[in-house]
Amino acid sequence: MEARLIAVDPQGGHAEVVLPKEPVSVGGRPEDGVFLRIGVAASILRLRFDPSLSTWVVDVLEAPVPVRLNDEPLAERASAPLVNGDQLAFLGFQVGIRLISAEPVFNGRAASILPLPKSGALVFGRGEAPAGEAAGFVGLDADDQTISSKHFIIERQQGGHIIRDVSRFGTTLNGVSFSTAELVYGDRIKIGHYTFEFDGKALRWLDHPDAGMIEAERLTREAGGRKILNEVTLRVRPGEFVGILGGSGQGKSTLLNALCGIVPASSGAVRVSRQLLEDRSSIRDLGVGYVPQDDIVHRELTVNDALLLSGRLRLNLPVAQIRARIDRIIGQLGLEEHRAKRVYMLSGGQRKRVSIGIELLSNPSVLFLDEPSSGLDPATEENLMVLLQKLALSGITVVCTTHVLQKAYLFDRLLFIQDGRLVFSGDSDEARTHFLGGGQAGSQLEAPLEKIYSILADRSIPAEAREQAYLASPFAPPPAMAAAPPAAATRRGRGKGVRDDRRVPAPRALATLLKRQWKIVVADPLNLAFLLAQAVVIAILIAWASDDIGMRMFLMVVASMWFGCSNAAQQIVGEIMIFRRERVCGLGLATYYGSKLLFLGALTALQTLLLFGCAHLMARHWHPEEFNRPEFERQLNERYTAVAGQEEPVMAAADDDFIAKGDEDFGLVEEQSAQSSTTPAAPAPPPPPSPPKPGTVERLASIGDWFHLGGNLTESGPRDLLLENGERARDPAGKLLSFAGLPIDRVLTVTLLLRAGGLLSAGLIGVILGLTVSTLVRSATQAVMWVPLLLIPQILFGGFVIPYPEMSGSARAFSRGVPSFACQRLIDVSHVYGRAMPFLSNRTKTPVFLTTDGSKETIEWERAGKPLSQDYDRISPFNRSWQNLLVVPDDRGRHKQESVRVTGTFTTIPRDSVKSRQDVRYLKGTVFRNLQPAWAALGCLGAWVAVCATVTLSGLVIKQTGG
Ligand SMILES: Nc1ncnc2c1ncn2[C@@H]1O[C@H](COP(=O)(O)OP(=O)(O)OP(=O)(O)O)[C@@H](O)[C@H]1O
């Protein structure tokens, strides 16, 4: 073992010497072994090694000056054994003692992380291993007589690790002697001058004594154009219970947040356990726990689940070990009888204990709490304060802000803050003496501390003057304190720090977050039932209100988007404090966002499927005329047997149907140029269609009938192309033109995929938009207000209520970027993919399906013996889909309004005509098979996903620091 003395003078200069085992005097005489320029020619102390105690002992000599050991006065001629980290102070000098034990030796090598055996036993003892036992032996400092040659044994048993004390002098586990115990994550074993911590897999040697020490140097924070924290320098010893006090708005929370690194100071430095708190990642690495004023726990979870799920997010340990740690914490916090209760059923004090328990999971060396007692009754507040005091006694440094001074006697140290300045640091008696006057000895000890608030409230004395008064008082820290060097503390750059191997892998964090979401949702079955019931109710209303499948699908797109958006809008803003805390504990941004997307996406998809299924079911009930399975089956059979053309036709191959003049969309031809255009060489005719397998027609009929795909499956077969005058179209060489047909399986797959894609992507994009809103807003109420603002444009610009060609030019350009427009395009393509085009002209802005004489078709039918009729515009469910996909005025020339006399009437109606180029006609019989609009829609949705994800992740980065 080696001892080092680190002396720091009042100007901050320091020197380090290795202490010999022989007695050595420390003082201001040149013949002193350690000579300090203290300005007094006297020896102050003597340091000597005591082999029976295996440590150095300090003897105070007949010194003319007071000496303090760890801030406590040491009487003249008193002696005290020293432990690692002790601090002696006199005349403004600080003398630190570092006892450096030899590094443990394992398998012949020095090692400070000692992996525990997967089987068998590991023995810890002094010196070298007994002969033949080297493999399972950890050798500790041979000079340390307090360690037995075999001190304790750790064995693997039933998935855990059992520790047995076999020493002469005893071992302590978390400060308590024991004979046999099961090791739980975070347990601390003290043996001689060594302290080991169990991290679930190995014992780590805590090789420095300052775990839990907090040092702040000139912390300053500027906000709102002023200093809300002004050059605060302070030091908190390990295991102290510290209260930050001061009036409202004086800067208590600002100081606390700066000390724990949650909202770092603008300038200055904070060291925890002698290591610099550099950035947010070091908060976790240095073992800093933080309990904000708001609860950092989901109220719907049970206490046990809240702790278990947080444990799985923070600790990369087997579940059994996490459970053991939770049992320990629940006992420590007195929550045994509440562990099965949901958090919302608990009182304020119990809830605060749960929040503290969550922080204790990761075994912090320092715990910061912002106003832990706010809103609690006096009795609960006292219980909580006593609990925090106990935590401090167990070795955790506890720092909290508080207003109340009644319980100030519980604190080891009070820090008074005024106008962002530290105006006092010391215990409650010292505070009384400093503020209430030391002249009235004895009486001030009884004076209520609350009086200090009235003194501080006297604004005639500025905070700066109070700060100066404190620095000039005997309670002021030695000037050199802040400059105390880290020296041996970071000798091996290890301690509480460097916990990267404990980072929870992303897949496990994701699974835990999903499980937590699920538990929160099922915690309130009524809420879940409501979410599903709203899908059913809206489906019924949609099916009831509209006999138009096109309209029903569009309403479903909007409803689905609304489900997603409303499910997500309050998600992040509602748990931002929990996110912030978990982020500091190592939760990845992408993992968090991914869990929200996956869970809410799945929930919204379930609602959408329910909506779709119910709406279809109810449509069969209310609109039976839309479904005619026998007729559909007959047409399917016909499709399988039909072969177009009597003469030898030019058959467009299924993959490359008739394309003219490079217009690849849909086999468009210009009426006047069709005769003259040059057609590419005709491809070879495909083989005649093979008969369907038994049962295929029935199966297709069921699916097609259910999903409203009759027209798509039947019309996609081979067919002749016709001109408007009813004649069959021919190519320039005079050959008859036909369409070869699309494979029925492809039509079925494409239409089903597009329909599902349109609806599900509407839900997903709703979730994505909702999450973005949730990240950007400041409250859940604001989030709710954003939802209609996002959804109403989806209705207006979706291209259905107002079809695309009917929009103004700028609205049309805008709509192309609207997500519902993209989803509706997928649905549009699914409606018409594989369908044979009727005569269709782009001459009118609203296209009409023309009969051969150019007028709109009128369709007549009978129901219950009653003749009914409708014009084609009214009953064609896909009229808007055709319009949206085929009639794009900008692409086909400029349209100009003109009045046209309608034959047989005296009225004139305004119509659009194409002036800049000739009319475009689609040959009847051309089958729509163009997937380009669907790809464009997917591209648009992809862009939305990318933009929203970027905005959300950036928002989360800002929110994680409280922005
Ligand atoms: N981000 C900020 N921008 C501007 N001013 C701020 C900001 N944060 C805090 N302040 C101001 O700094 C001062 C100290 O705030 P702080 O919250 O630390 O006080 P406090 O002592 O904790 O008060 P309370 O006990 O009421 O919570 C207040 O005047 C507050 O208005």
What is the pLDDT, as a whole number, of residue 854? Answer: 46
User: What single DSSP character describes residue 571?
Assistant: T
Q: Whose CA is nearest to atom 12 of ligand 1?
A: 228
Atom of ligand 1 nearest to the CA of 255: 18
266 & 398 share domain: yes
Q: Whose CA is nearest to atom 2 of ligand 1?
A: 223
Say if 116 falls within a structural domain: yes
322 & 452 share domain: yes
Atom of ligand 1 nearest to the CA of 251: 18
Lowest mean pLDDT among 491-505, 731-745, 841-855: 841-855
Q: Whose CA is nearest to atom 26 of ligand 1?
A: 248
Residue 285: strand, helix, or coil: helix
User: Which of these, 293, 263, 261, 264, lies nearest to 364 by C-alpha position?
Assistant: 261
* Half-sphere exposure (Cβ direction) of 377: Cα atoms closer than 13 Å: 4
Q: Which two tokens stand for residue 698?
A: 């029935």
Give me the mean pLDDT over the 482-499 stretch.
40
Q: 252 C-alpha vs ligand 1 centroid, how far in Å?
A: 8
What is the pLDDT, as a whole number, of residue 912? Answer: 41
261 & 380 share domain: yes
What is the pLDDT, as a whole number, of residue 899? Answer: 41
Residue 793 — pLDDT band, cuts 50, 70, 90?
A: very high
Q: 461 C-alpha vs ligand 1 centroid, how far in Å?
A: 21
Give the tens place of pLDDT for each residue, 17-64.
888 888 998 888 888 888 888 888 888 899 998 888 888 999 988 767
Quick check: 245 and 238 in contact, CB under 8 A? no
Q: Which of 221, 250, 368, 371 to mutate to test the pocket of ligand 1 (most atoms within 8 A of CB)?
A: 250
> Of how many residues is the chain composed?
963
CB-count exposure of residue 654 (10 Å: 0-12, 13-18, 19+): middle
Say if 611 falls within a structural domain: no
Q: Whose CA is nearest to atom 14 of ligand 1?
A: 251
Return d(Cα 73, Cα 424) in angstroms, integer: 20
Residue 674: strand, helix, or coil: coil
Q: Which residue has the higher pLDDT, 911 or 111?
A: 111
Lowest mean pLDDT among 450-454, 554-558, 726-730: 726-730
What is the pLDDT, as a whole number, of residue 808? Answer: 79
Atom of ligand 1 nearest to the CA of 403: 25
Q: 254 C-alpha vs ligand 1 centroid, how far in Å?
A: 6
Q: Is the pLDDT of residue 146 over 50?
A: yes
The Cα-based distances of 348 to 307, 355, 375, 384, 387 in angstroms read: 17, 11, 7, 11, 15
Give the tens place of pLDDT for each residue, 704-716.
888 888 888 888 8
**Residue the block writes with tokens 């119990």:** 350
Give me the mean pLDDT over the 803-826 stretch.
89
Q: Which residue has the higher pLDDT, 153 or 76?
A: 153
Backbone φ and ψ of 430, nearest 5°: -65, -35
147 & 92 share domain: no
Give the tens place of pLDDT for each residue, 742-787.
888 899 999 999 999 999 999 999 999 999 999 999 999 999 999 9
304 & 385 share domain: yes
User: Which of these, 15, 203, 233, 192, lies nearest to 122 by C-alpha position?
Assistant: 203
Say if 866 falls within a structural domain: no
What is the pLDDT, as a whole number, of residue 63? Answer: 62
Give me the mean pLDDT over the 158-178 stretch.
85
504: left (phi over 0), alpha (psi -120 to 50) or beta: beta
Return d(Cα 646, Cα 219) in angstroms, integer: 93
**Residue the block writes with tokens 């009795």:** 379
3-state secondary structure 732-782: CCCCEEEECCCCHHHHHHHHHHHHHHHHHHHHHHHHHHHHHHHHHCCCHHH
Tally of domains in the chain: 3
Say if 328 falls within a structural domain: yes
Q: Which two tokens stand for residue 88?
A: 């002696």
Q: 419 C-alpha vs ligand 1 centroid, how far in Å?
A: 10
Q: Is the pLDDT of residue 938 over 50?
A: yes
Backbone φ and ψ of 60, nearest 5°: -85, 125
- The CATH number given to whatever domain includes residue 169 is 2.60.200.20
Q: Is the pLDDT of residue 68 over 70?
A: yes
| Domain end (from 433, 458, 484) | 484
Q: Is the pLDDT of residue 953 over 90?
A: yes
Percent of the chain at pLDDT > 70 equals 81
Q: Could you tell me the sign of the dihedral formed by the alpha carbons of 798, 803, 808, 812, in that order?
A: positive
Give me the mean pLDDT over the 588-614 stretch.
96
114 & 64 share domain: no
Give me the mean pLDDT over the 313-333 stretch.
89
What is the pLDDT, as a whole number, of residue 402? Answer: 87
Q: β-strands 43-50, 24-27: how paired?
A: antiparallel
User: Which of these, 888, 873, 869, lies nearest to 825 by C-alpha position?
Assistant: 888
Give me the mean pLDDT over the 314-332 stretch.
89
Q: Which of 219, 222, 248, 252 to mutate to test the pocket of ligand 1 (most atoms within 8 A of CB)?
A: 252
Return d(Cα 406, Cα 416) in angstroms, integer: 15
Return d(Cα 340, Cα 303) in angstroms, integer: 6
Residue 515: strand, helix, or coil: helix
What is the pLDDT, as a whole number, of residue 401? Answer: 93
- The CATH number given to whatever domain includes residue 340 is 3.40.50.300
Say if 842 falls within a structural domain: no
Q: Which residues of 387-426 are buried (b: 16+ CB within 10 A; e: fewer)?
A: bbbebbeeebbbbbbbebbebbeebbbbbbbbbbbbbbbb
Q: 244 C-alpha vs ligand 1 centroid, how far in Å?
A: 14
CB-count exposure of residue 227 (10 Å: 0-12, 13-18, 19+): middle
What is the pLDDT, as a whole number, of residue 688? Answer: 55
Give the tens place of pLDDT for each residue, 374-421.
878 888 888 888 989 988 888 889 999 987 777 788 899 999 999 999
What is the pLDDT, as a whole number, of residue 33? Answer: 87
Q: Which of 222, 245, 248, 254 to mutate to test the pocket of ligand 1 (most atoms within 8 A of CB)?
A: 254
Q: 248 C-alpha vs ligand 1 centroid, how far in Å?
A: 8
432 & 455 share domain: yes
Q: Whose CA is nearest to atom 7 of ligand 1?
A: 223
- CB under 8 Å to 797, separation ≥6 — which residues? 807, 811, 814, 815, 818, 820, 821
137 & 90 share domain: no
Residue 339: strand, helix, or coil: coil
- List ligand 1's pocket residues with C-beta within 6 A: 223-224, 228, 246, 248-254, 401
Q: Which two tokens stand for residue 603?
A: 């929930």
Give me the mean pLDDT over the 788-801 stretch.
92
Q: Which two tokens stand for residue 889?
A: 């005025």
User: Which of these, 510, 574, 564, lies nearest to 774 by C-alpha position?
Assistant: 574
Quick check: 568 and 767 in contact, CB under 8 A? yes
Say if 605 falls within a structural domain: no
Q: 514 C-alpha vs ligand 1 centroid, how far in Å?
A: 36
| Domain end (from 75, 100, 125) | 100
Q: Is the pLDDT of residue 556 over 70?
A: yes
334: left (phi over 0), alpha (psi -120 to 50) or beta: left
CA 219 from chain centre, in angstroms, equals 30
Q: Which residue has the higher pLDDT, 538 or 447?
A: 538
Q: How many Å from the N-terminal Cα to the C-terminal Cα in the chain? A: 50
Q: Which residue has the higher pLDDT, 408 or 907?
A: 408
Quick check: 210 and 119 in contact, CB under 8 A? no
Residue 119 — pLDDT band, cuts 50, 70, 90?
A: confident
Percent of the chain at pLDDT > 90 equals 31
138 & 264 share domain: no
239 & 388 share domain: yes
Q: 223 C-alpha vs ligand 1 centroid, how far in Å?
A: 9
What is the pLDDT, as a whole number, of residue 145? Answer: 82
What is the pLDDT, as a whole number, of residue 658? Answer: 33
Q: Which two tokens stand for residue 960?
A: 């994680």
Atom of ligand 1 nearest to the CA of 228: 12
Say if 244 falls within a structural domain: yes
What is the pLDDT, as a whole number, of residue 647? Answer: 41
Residue 418: strand, helix, or coil: strand
Lowest mean pLDDT among 201-210, 292-301, 368-377, 853-862: 853-862
| Domain end (from 54, 83, 100) | 100
Give the tens place of pLDDT for each residue, 497-534.
444 456 789 999 999 999 999 999 999 899 999 999 99
Q: Which two tokens stand for residue 227?
A: 């200093």
327 & 427 share domain: yes
Q: Whose CA is nearest to atom 16 of ligand 1?
A: 251
Mean pLDDT of the chain: 80
Q: 221 C-alpha vs ligand 1 centroid, how far in Å?
A: 11
Residue 925 — pLDDT band, cuts 50, 70, 90?
A: low
Q: Is the pLDDT of residue 883 over 80?
A: no
The Cα-based distances of 540 to 225, 357, 582, 615 in angstroms read: 58, 48, 42, 6
Q: 420 C-alpha vs ligand 1 centroid, how far in Å?
A: 9
Q: Could you tell me the sign of the dihedral formed by the alpha carbons of 415, 418, 424, 427, in that order?
A: negative
Q: Whose CA is nearest to atom 20 of ligand 1?
A: 249
Say if 760 falls within a structural domain: no
Q: Which two tokens stand for residue 606?
A: 């379930």
90 & 142 share domain: no
Q: 476 C-alpha vs ligand 1 centroid, how far in Å?
A: 26
Return d(Cα 381, Cα 362) in angstroms, integer: 25
Residue 962 — pLDDT band, cuts 50, 70, 90?
A: low
Q: Which residues of 75-87 are buried (b: 16+ CB within 10 A; e: fewer)?
A: eeeeebebebbbb
Give the tens place of pLDDT for each residue, 326-383.
998 998 888 999 999 999 999 988 999 999 999 999 888 899 999 988 878 888 888 8
* Range(s) of the domain holding residue 146: 105-205
Q: 218 C-alpha vs ligand 1 centroid, how far in Å?
A: 18
